[in-house]
Amino acid sequence: MEFIYCFCLVSLVLIVGGLYKLLYYNYAKKNYSVVIGKIGDFEELNTSDFHTAKYPLIHYQVNGHTYKKRGSGSIVMGKPVKVYYNPSDPYKCVLEGDNGLILIFFGLIFLVIPAIIFFNK
C-alpha cells in the first residue's frame, strides 16, 4: 500500500512541475522577446558513478552578447531553435517546445498505475 502513496506523490510532483513549466512557457511566449538560437556545443553531466549524459548547449545572441541555455535531448542538431528571453535579463529564457507536457504525461502515467493496482484488488 505504501508504494501506491509513493506513486501518487511522484505523480503529484511531476504534474505540478509540468503545469508550472507550461504556465511559464506560455507567459514567456506572450511577454518575452524571441531570437533564433543554435546548438553550439554539448555539456557532459555525470548521471551516476559510471554514466554521463550529453546535453546540447543552445547559443543565442542578444544585443551583441552571446548566452547559453542547456537544452533537452529532443533538440535536433543543426535545426534552429526559437529562444524566448526576458529583455531585462536575457539569462532568463525558455526554448521552443520546452513546455512541460512530457512531465504532465509521465505524472498521469504514475497516477494511472496505482489506480489500476488499487481497483484490481
What is the pLDDT tens value at each position of the chain, 121 positions in all? 677 788 888 999 999 999 999 999 999 999 999 999 988 788 888 777 778 878 888 999 999 999 999 887 666 677 888 999 999 999 999 998 888 888 999 999 988 887 787 777 7
Residues 89/31, Cβ–Cβ less than 8 Å: no
Q: How many CB atoms lie within 10 A of CB 1?
A: 8
pTM of the full structure:
0.78
Question: Residue 65 corresponds to which cell in the numbers above?
Answer: 552578447
